Structure 1
C-alpha cells in the first residue's frame, strides 16, 4: 500500500551561517491550514536544538510520508513578505557575490510590527500625476536626447545630468522625478536610489511638485520601525508607487518599470555588510531579471558605468543643449607659488567680488580646525603615544587630541627630536573659516560639515566653507565657487582617487549660479582638464583604458580572500580547477593583526565570464570552512575564512 501524501514547505532560514543558505523541507501540519508562499514561519533547527525564523519559499505535496521531517511550528504572520520576485533577486545577488540570500533579505525586509500589520488594508488607491504635472515632466525629459525612448522601451542608459539649479531644485532631482512621474502615469512603479539623506530630501522636494504624495514611498534609516514596516507593506501592493531611498531601496519588492540610481560613484551606495553588494550591481542584476528601464545619472561617470557604455550595454544620454559651468584653473605662475598660499590672487579676487553680491562656496577636504599636527622643529607627524593615531587641534592653542582614540596629549614630545612644540600642518573647515573671516571683514562665514550640517543658505552675501559632499544649496546658486585642497585630495592612496575628486568637484560646481566662476586651485592634469571642459566621460574612459593592461577593476573583477593561512590555501586550491590565468592570484600576504592564528589575504582577479564559477568555488570554500569549524552540538568556532567580491580598490 503506497504511503499517504503530505504537505511540505520549503523554507529559507533567516540565519547568517553559510551552511544554512539553502532550502530545507518541513512538514506542514493540518492544523496550520493554508500556508501561502512568502510568509514568515518558525521552524525547529535540530542541529542547534532551537527554533529559528524562516520564510516559506514553496509549498508542495510529497508521497513519501515516511521520510523523517520536522514540522513547521507556527506561522508568524499571514502577510507574504517575501514574494517570489524578491527571493529570486536576493538569490541571484547572493550567488554573484558568494554570499547568503538571507543576508540580502535582512537589508530589505524590516522586523514585523504587529500593530502596523493589523491596520494594513492592502488597498491603496491608484493615483496618477495631473495633466499639468505630466506636461512639466515631459518638458524636463525632453531636455535629454533619447531619454523618452529609453523609458518607453525599457532601455538602459547612462545620463549626464545638467549642472543647474531651477528655483532651488537641482536639475538631477527634477530628472529622476520626471522619469518616475512618466512611469506612474503609465501605471508602473519606480525605484529611485540616492546615496544619503540630503539627496533624498532634495529628490522628495522635486517629486512633491510632480506626483501625489500618496504615490511616494520613503525608505531610509531615519524612519522609525513602524514607519519603515508600513512603507514596506505598501511596496507589496499592486497599486503602482515611487520608492525613494538609500542603497537597500534597490531591493524594494515592487514590480518596477524603472530603476534609477543617482551618483553611483558615491561610496555610500556600497553595502558595508555581507555580501557587500553595491547598489549599482544589484540594479544591474534586477534589470536583467525584470526587464525594467535602468538609469545611472550623475554629473560625472564612474569607470564601472563607462565600461558598460563602451560595451554598448548602456546608452549614452546627454542634454540636447549643453550649458557648461565656467571653470577656471590655476595658472602656471600660481602653480609655482609656495604651497602655504592656499588661495591664489585670482581665486581670492573672484571670491571677494562675488561675496559682495551673494553667497560664495569654498570647498575644503577635511572638517575641524587642524586635523593633523607636526613637530614644530623637525616637521615629523605628531602621533598619539597610546594608539599611534594622528594628533589634531580643535582650535588655535588647544591641547592636541588623537583622531583615533580621542585621548589628549598635553605632555607630547617628539620621539625624533624630543621637541614639545607642535605646528598646525593642515587646515580643516573651521580653521579655513577662521582665516577667511579675517580676510573678508564684515562678510558672514558659515561652516558646513558633519558637525555643522547646513541644508540651505539664502542669497545674502556670505562665505560658505564646506567639506566635500556637505555643500548646502544656495538660493539662486553660488556667485562663485572655490575648490581648495585639490592636491591633498589627489594624494589619497586610492585607485579611484581621481574619479572621486572629479565627482566632488563636479557636484560642487553644479551648485553655482549660471556664469559664476569656479576656481580649481593648485591642480592640473587629466582630472582638472576634465572638469574645465566638463568631459567627465572621457576621463572615465581614459582611466578604464589605463587599468586594462594591469587587470585592475572594473576591467576585471577582483575577489578578496582573507583568513588563516590554511583556510586561504584551501580556498585558493579550489580555484585551480577553473583554469584561471597564471597571474590571477596575488598573494597571500600577511595581514597586520594581533589575531591568533595569524591571518593572510589574497586577491583573485578574474574576467566577468568566469564570475559565476569563481563565486561558486569561493562560496563552497566558505561553507566547507564553516562546517569543519563546528565544535559540538550547536556550537561553532569563529569563521577562519571570509570572501568579498567586487572590491572597488585592491589596496583596501
Structure 2
C-alpha cells in the first residue's frame, strides 16, 4: 500500500503497527496498486540522515480522509532528535487546498507525531523535509498508538482526534521537572473493608499475587469506597505492576487521591485532572510515561494514561455522563478500559453504589465476576427508605400548600436534632420551568416560544431564551391565567425550607458553587444531583424531591439514571441502625423506586437488561446515531455500505434545544432543521457498522461536500453508542 508525501494529495495510507480487523474494511475500499519502494530524494538539496532517512508522520488533521501516515525526509541536523514518538512540525499539502488550510493554522506548518523511521519510501516524488522537532521527548509509544487506533476504529473516528484526547498539550518547563526514577513497590495490603464482600479478600489477594481478576463491584453505602479502591491499587503495585483509576469528576478524584496518599505516602501515584493546570498535569503525565509513577488517579482523559506494566484498570460510577467524552469521536471510559484490560491482559474493576445495564451485561456474559455483599451487610449499611406517592400527596394538605409532604417535614424535623439533612432537587436555579395550572401546557414566550421562568421576589415572568419580561401571560390552549411549577429549582427550595426552619442554616450546592464537604452540625443542604457534599459523620436524613421529573424523561435510561442518582445521595446518609432515613417523593409502584426501597440496584439492572434484549436495544445490540440536514443525511445513507443485518430507524427531527441551553454533541445548529437516524446491528456486527460509517464519511469529506469539513450546514455527524437515544 502506497504512502504519501506531505506535499501531495494522493490516496495512500500506511503504518508500521498492528491495526484492528475492522480497519481493513476501510483500507480495502481505498486500496491502490502498489508502487516499487524507492530511496527518498533529497529535498531542495538538503543533506538527509544517513540511516533511516524517512520519517513516517501522523499529521494532526482530524478528518477521516486524511486518517493515514505521511512520509517526510529527515534532515541530517534533525537525525538525532527526530525519533519515533516525538512531536514535529511539518509542511502539509504544498500547492493544494491543504496548504491554504495549513496557513490558517500557522504559515503552512501543522503539528504531528513521528510514528516510525524507515530506510525507504514507496512515494515516487521528492519528499518534503521535517520542518521542526518540537521536543525530543517521545510522547507517543507503540502501545498508546495501538490503543488510540483501536478506539478510533470502534467509534468511527480519526486517529488524530483520539490522540488529542490522549496526549496533553506540551509545557516546556514540565519536561525538565518530571520525575524519571520509580519508587520501590509497597508491601501487599491487608484486605481491610474488602472483607465485607463475598470474594473481596480473594480479589485483593489475586492482584497482589500478580493475577488479573475482572469484577463488577457493587459498593456498600458509605465513605469506605475510596479506601477500598486504594487497597486494590496498593495490591497491584505490590506485584510490580501499574494501576489506573478513572472517576467522573474532580471531587471523587480528590477522595481517592487522599486515600492513596494515606496508604502509600507521597510520590507513589499521579493525579491527572483538568483542575491541576496545564504544567502540573503535563509533568505528572510525563512521570507516568517515563515509568517514575506506576499508579494514576484521574478524570476522563486519564483513561489513556500510559501506565507501564498495567496490572489493573478501575472505573468508578460508570453511569455518570462525565465518563462520555463530548469531543469526537466521543469515547466512553468504560469501553476504553475494557479495551485496555483485554489488550494488556490486566485486572478490571467496575465499581459504584449502583449498577448500570452495561455492568450487568459484563457479568451475564461471564466477562467479569460479580463482587457484592450479602443482604445482611446491605441492610446494616443502608438507610431506611420511605416513599411518598401521588395518592399520598393528593390527600396531604401540607403537600398541596408547600410542595413537601407531611412525612418529609417530620423526617427533616427529627433529622435536624441529630445532624445535617440533605435535600436533593432535580434542577438548579429558582423555578426553571412553569406550566398552566389547568391543562399543564408549558408556559412559553409570545416572542420566541422560549420557556417562561419565575423570578425571585415575585418579579414578572421572564423568557429563558430571549430574556423578555412577560407581565400578562395567559394559556394559549385553555385560556387559563394561573401557573404551577413543573420543577422547582434548588434556590427556590432552599428559600422555602429557610422560611419553614428559620433557626437552621441552609446551604446550597450546585453548578454555581459545589460544596465538597459540610460539617456534621444540624443544617439543611439543598443540592442538585451529582453535587451532593459529603457530611462529616453522614447525613441524618435525606429528601429526594420531584422524583417524577427524573423518571418522566423520554429516554431509555431514565429509570436507570434516576436510581443511580438516588442511591448516590442515599449512600451519604447514616445507616438505618443509627436512625438514617431517606424519603423519596415518587410513585412507590415504579420499578426504580422499588429497587431503591430494597436497595437492589443489581436486580434492577438485570431486569432492564432482559427487557432490552427482548427489544433489541443497547447494550445487547450496537447502535449509531447519524444526524444532519435532511438532504445531506439522505445522501450519506445512500452512499454508506451498511452491514446486511443493519436496521435503520428514522429519520426523525432532531429536537431543537433553542439558543439558550447548552448544546449536546450531534444537536442541530441554531436555526437549522436537522434529522437523525439510529442504525442498529446485532452483536458481532458493531465493528462492521463503525467501519462502514467511517468509510462513507471519509469518502464524503474527500469529495469536498459543502460544509463537511467545517461542520457547516451540510455536515453529517456520527456518534457510535450514543448515550441518549430517547
Does the 8 A contact of 1:36 with 1:80 survive in 2?
yes
Deviates more, 1:623-632 or 1:306-315: 623-632
Summarize the Cα distance change of 1:627–1:361 in structure 2 as closer, same or farther, 3 Å threshold. same
**Equivalent residue for 1:323?**
378
The number of residue pairs the alignment matches comes to 636
Give 3-state SS (helix, strand or coil) of 1:608's partner.
coil
Instruction: Find out whether 1:517 has 2:581 as its counterpart.
Output: yes
Give 3-state SS (helix, strand or coil) of 1:330's partner.
strand
**Equivalent residue for 2:311?**
257
Give CA-to-partner distance per residue, 1:320-348, whole Å, 9 cap, x none.
66233133333676265366364333332
For residues 468-617 of structure 1, what are the structure 2 equivalents within 5 Å?
Answer: 468-515=529-576, 516-524=580-588, 525-574=590-639, 576=641, 578-581=643-646, 584-591=647-654, 599-617=674-692
Structure 1 counterpart of 2:83, from 32, 36, 49: 36
TM-score, with length taken from structure 2? 0.82
Taking the aligned partners of 1:89 and 1:579, their CA distance within structure 2 comes to: 28
Taking the aligned partners of 1:64 and 1:19, their CA distance within structure 2 comes to: 19
**Equivalent residue for 2:448?**
387
Summarize the Cα distance change of 1:283–1:226 in structure 2 as closer, same or farther, 3 Å threshold. same
Does the 8 A contact of 1:377 with 1:421 survive in 2?
yes
For residues 335-346 of structure 1, what are the structure 2 equivalents within 5 Å?
Answer: 337=395, 340=400, 342-346=403-407
Task: After TM superposition, give the deviation of residue 573 of structure 1 in Å.
Answer: 3.7
For residues 202-221 of structure 1, what are the structure 2 equivalents within 5 Å?
Answer: 202-221=255-274
Deviates more, 1:196-205 or 1:585-594: 585-594
Instruction: Find out whether 1:148 has 2:204 as its counterpart.
Output: yes
Give 3-state SS (helix, strand or coil) of 1:579's partner.
coil
Give CA-to-partner distance per residue, 1:387-423, whole Å, 9 cap, x none.
3222222424023233344x14144533627777755
Task: After TM superposition, give the deviation of residue 42 of structure 1 in Å.
Answer: 1.3
**Equivalent residue for 1:167?**
none
Structure 2 counterpart of 1:185, from 238, 242, 262: 238
Deviates more, 1:149-158 or 1:209-218: 149-158
Task: After TM superposition, give the deviation of residue 606 of structure 1 in Å.
Answer: 0.7
**Equivalent residue for 1:643?**
718
Taking the aligned partners of 1:595 and 1:624, their CA distance within structure 2 comes to: 27
Task: After TM superposition, give the deviation of residue 269 of structure 1 in Å.
Answer: 0.7
For residues 403-482 of structure 1, what are the structure 2 equivalents within 5 Å?
Answer: 403-405=464-466, 407-414=467-474, 416=476, 423-482=484-543
Summarize the Cα distance change of 1:421–1:4 in structure 2 as closer, same or farther, 3 Å threshold. closer
Structure 1 counterpart of 2:432, from 371, 374, 379: 371
Give CA-to-partner distance per residue, 1:172-226, whole Å, 9 cap, x none.
1112111112222222221111111221222222222112221221111112221
Task: After TM superposition, give the deviation of residue 258 of structure 1 in Å.
Answer: 1.2
Summarize the Cα distance change of 1:481–1:363 in structure 2 as closer, same or farther, 3 Å threshold. same
Taking the aligned partners of 2:318 and 2:497, their CA distance within structure 1 comes to: 34
Task: After TM superposition, give the deviation of residue 279 of structure 1 in Å.
Answer: 0.8
Does the 8 A contact of 2:487 with 2:546 survive in 1?
no
- Give the RMSD, CA atoms, in angstroms: 2.8
Give CA-to-partner distance per residue, 1:263-294, whole Å, 9 cap, x none.
00001111111001111111111111111211
Taking the aligned partners of 1:138 and 1:352, their CA distance within structure 2 comes to: 40
Deviates more, 1:149-158 or 1:413-422: 413-422
Does the 8 A contact of 2:180 with 2:287 survive in 1?
no
Taking the aligned partners of 1:277 and 1:523, their CA distance within structure 2 comes to: 35
Taking the aligned partners of 1:27 and 1:465, their CA distance within structure 2 comes to: 62
Does the 8 A contact of 2:706 with 2:714 survive in 1?
no
Taking the aligned partners of 2:79 and 2:90, their CA distance within structure 1 comes to: 16
Taking the aligned partners of 2:706 and 2:636, their CA distance within structure 1 comes to: 21
Summarize the Cα distance change of 1:530–1:223 in structure 2 as closer, same or farther, 3 Å threshold. same
**Equivalent residue for 1:235?**
288
Taking the aligned partners of 2:706 and 2:598, their CA distance within structure 1 comes to: 62
Could you list the runs of 5+ residues in structure 1 that have no partner in the other structure?
165-169
**Equivalent residue for 2:341?**
287
Does the 8 A contact of 1:351 with 1:480 survive in 2?
yes
Taking the aligned partners of 1:611 and 1:19, their CA distance within structure 2 comes to: 21
Does the 8 A contact of 1:150 with 1:293 survive in 2?
no
Task: After TM superposition, give the deviation of residue 640 of structure 1 in Å.
Answer: 2.9
Summarize the Cα distance change of 1:631–1:537 in structure 2 as closer, same or farther, 3 Å threshold. closer
Instruction: Find out whether 1:118 has 2:182 as its counterpart.
Output: no
**Equivalent residue for 2:695?**
620
Taking the aligned partners of 1:274 and 1:109, their CA distance within structure 2 comes to: 15
Taking the aligned partners of 1:561 and 1:536, their CA distance within structure 2 comes to: 32
Task: After TM superposition, give the deviation of residue 97 of structure 1 in Å.
Answer: 0.4
Task: After TM superposition, give the deviation of residue 514 of structure 1 in Å.
Answer: 2.2
Deviates more, 1:503-512 or 1:42-51: 42-51
For residues 77-92 of structure 1, what are the structure 2 equivalents within 5 Å?
Answer: 77-92=135-150
**Equivalent residue for 1:310?**
364
Summarize the Cα distance change of 1:410–1:635 in structure 2 as closer, same or farther, 3 Å threshold. closer
Taking the aligned partners of 2:157 and 2:38, their CA distance within structure 1 comes to: 39
Summarize the Cα distance change of 1:149–1:570 in structure 2 as closer, same or farther, 3 Å threshold. farther
Deviates more, 1:490-499 or 1:416-425: 416-425
Summarize the Cα distance change of 1:599–1:349 in structure 2 as closer, same or farther, 3 Å threshold. closer
Does the 8 A contact of 1:413 with 1:419 survive in 2?
no
Instruction: Find out whether 1:59 has 2:134 as its counterpart.
Output: no
Structure 1 counterpart of 2:72, from 26, 31, 38: 26
Task: After TM superposition, give the deviation of residue 375 of structure 1 in Å.
Answer: 4.8
**Equivalent residue for 1:45?**
92
